[in-house]
């Protein structure tokens, strides 16, 4: 950890007249002096950090913060700022106090604060905290440093990370997200594989030297004329549909209308991938190891996406037992998490359940996570559009 010296390593930022005017406007909506002061200084801190991020080219959205909601401001002590595609940071303010000396000049207080309190309502759904020292007399704010958490309810100023660490932390958040727009361009992280590779892997065989006496005319292959002995890769093996959707269990399908519940039985016939993901532009799957406690149980997370006419992306996520297993582990939770950390939807597998699924739409620029959890183990996959 890089400790931050508040005198030499803090970053000064101007408090603009526009910021003062807006903070005064927000504060004037209330009568209680303590609440007026709280809203005023919180708003200044948010605007100063917002100016800092905009200088770095980091996109923010003031309207998505609770600090910009007049009702929330009334009941909660929040100074949150939404960073597009990532989530909220909390901009906790402290005042730089001046004292009047006998000669009429102002001096800084001899007892500056050592900690910055963080109210309970600001300790969740945050990706980090920046402490902002507000000096109204000089119309200057100083960004004192960064902390990734505030579990104790206070931030010790001498233990803050540097702002460089803050930027590195943001990069880690960006890197951890799967950009679904890249999927439409056929660009994937190596962890996400085609369904075939996950559910019907090719057996590894020792190399053998066998020479076919019949020569093959590769020019004819383009015309779908293939010599005897040459088969399409799909031939001679169990198809993917049979591997995931066997005839005996034709009950894997998303419920229509954007709902996100567990499987709904279909009446008769075998369910195919095309039936399950009829509008999908891209489909991908990933094997996830649930650990030794479950006997190295592996499940497969299937994700299918489709580009809508209004530029939203429809996402289908299904959880299946991997090949060799009939059912999902009991009490395995599949959750949809917002970029602010809220659980938007959650399913839990029951006894002898073969699939659970989520279906939802995502706006351009939005982020979300899909979390698998069982007992005290959780695995999260982050996505962005």
Q: 3-state secondary structure string, 73-131?
A: HHHCCCCEEEECCCEEEEEEEEECCEEECCCCCEEECCCCCCEEECCHHHCCCCCEEEE
* Tokens describing residue 64: 């998505």
Phi, psi torsion values for 192, nearest 5 degrees: -95, 120
pLDDT score, position 116? 94
Q: pLDDT 10s digit of each residue in the chain, 385 long?
A: 444 444 447 899 999 999 999 999 999 988 888 999 999 999 999 999 999 999 999 999 999 999 999 999 888 999 999 998 788 999 999 998 766 544 444 555 556 788 999 999 998 889 899 999 999 888 899 999 999 989 889 999 999 999 999 998 888 777 677 778 777 877 777 677 776 776 666 655 543 332 333 333 333 323 444 334 333 323 333 433 443 444 433 333 322 333 344 443 333 333 445 566 777 888 888 888 776 455 557 888 888 888 888 888 888 888 888 766 778 888 889 999 888 788 999 999 888 888 888 999 988 888 888 888 887 788 888 888 8
Contact 80, 90 (CB under 8 A): yes
| Through-space distance between the first and last CA atoms of the chain, rounded to whole angstroms | 32
- Of residues 314, 282, 306, 317, the one with CA closest to residue 186: 282
Structure confidence at residue 235 (pLDDT):
36
Count of H-run helices and E-run strands, the chain: 9, 19
In degrees and rounded to multiples of 5, residue 88 shows phi and psi of -100, 140
Which pLDDT score is estimated for 248? 38
CATH code at 180-201+239-384:
2.60.40.10
- Distance between CA atoms of 327 and 123, rounded to whole angstroms? 38
Of 157, 133, 18, 146, nearest to 90 (Cα)?
146
Q: Which of 313, 326, 252 is nearest to 279 (CA)?
A: 313
Phi/psi for 211 (5° steps) reads -105, 125
Q: What DSSP designation does 251 have?
A: -
Residue 207: the pLDDT is 39
Distances in Å between the Cα of 225 and the Cα atoms of 213, 218, 221, 229 are 18, 9, 5, 12
Burial class (CB in 10 A: 0-12, 13-18, 19+), 252: buried
β-bridge mates for residue 147, sequence order: 129
For residue 204, what pLDDT is reported?
Answer: 52
The two three-digit tokens of residue 66, written as one number: 């609770």
Q: In this structure, are strands 333-338 and 313-321 parallel, antiparallel, or unpaired?
A: unpaired
The answer to whether 334 and 346 are in contact (CB under 8 A) is yes
pLDDT at 201: 63
The domain segmentation of the chain, as residue ranges, is: 11-161, 180-201+239-384
């Amino acid at each position: 950890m890089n400790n931050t010296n508040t005198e030499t390593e803090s970053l000064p930022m101007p408090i603009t007249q526009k910021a003062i005017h807006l903070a005064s406007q927000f504060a004037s909506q209330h009568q209680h002096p303590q609440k007026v002061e709280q809203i005023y200084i919180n708003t200044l801190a948010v605007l100063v950090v917002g100016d800092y991020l905009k200088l770095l080219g980091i996109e923010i959205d003031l309207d998505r913060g609770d600090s910009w909601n007049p009702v929330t401001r009334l009941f909660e002590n929040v100074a949150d700022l939404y960073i597009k595609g990532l989530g909220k940071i909390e901009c906790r303010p402290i005042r730089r106090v001046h004292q009047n000396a006998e000669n009429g000049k102002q001096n800084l207080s001899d007892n500056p604060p050592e900690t910055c309190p963080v109210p309970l309502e600001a300790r969740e759904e945050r990706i980090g905290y920046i402490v902002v020292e507000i000096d109204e007399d000089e119309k200057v704010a100083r960004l004192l440093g960064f902390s990734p958490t505030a579990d104790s309810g206070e931030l010790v100023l001498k233990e803050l990370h540097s702002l460089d660490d803050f930027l590195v932390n943001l990069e880690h958040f960006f890197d951890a997200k799967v950009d679904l727009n890249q999927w439409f361009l056929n660009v994937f992280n190596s962890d996400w594989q085609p369904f075939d590779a996950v559910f019907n892997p090719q057996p590894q065989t020792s190399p053998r030297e066998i020479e076919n006496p019949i020569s093959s005319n590769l020019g004819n292959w383009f015309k779908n004329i293939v010599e005897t002995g040459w088969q399409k890769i799909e031939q001679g093996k169990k198809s993917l549909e049979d591997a995931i959707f066997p005839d005996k269990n034709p009950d894997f399908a998303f419920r229509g209308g954007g709902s996100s519940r567990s499987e709904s039985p279909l009446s008769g016939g075998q369910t195919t991938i095309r039936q399950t993901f009829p509008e999908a532009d891209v489909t991908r799957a990933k094997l996830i190891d649930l650990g030794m406690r479950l006997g190295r149980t592996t499940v497969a997370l299937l994700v299918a996406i489709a580009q809508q006419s209004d530029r939203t992306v429809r996402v289908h996520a299904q959880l299946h037992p991997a090949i060799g297993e009939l059912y999902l582990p009991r009490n395995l939770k599949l959750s949809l998490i917002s970029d602010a950390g809220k659980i938007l939807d959650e399913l839990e597998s029951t006894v002898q359940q073969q699939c659970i699924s989520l279906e939802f739409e995502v706006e351009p620029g939005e982020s979300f996570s899909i979390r698998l959890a069982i007992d005290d183990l959780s695995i999260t996959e982050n996505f962005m559009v």
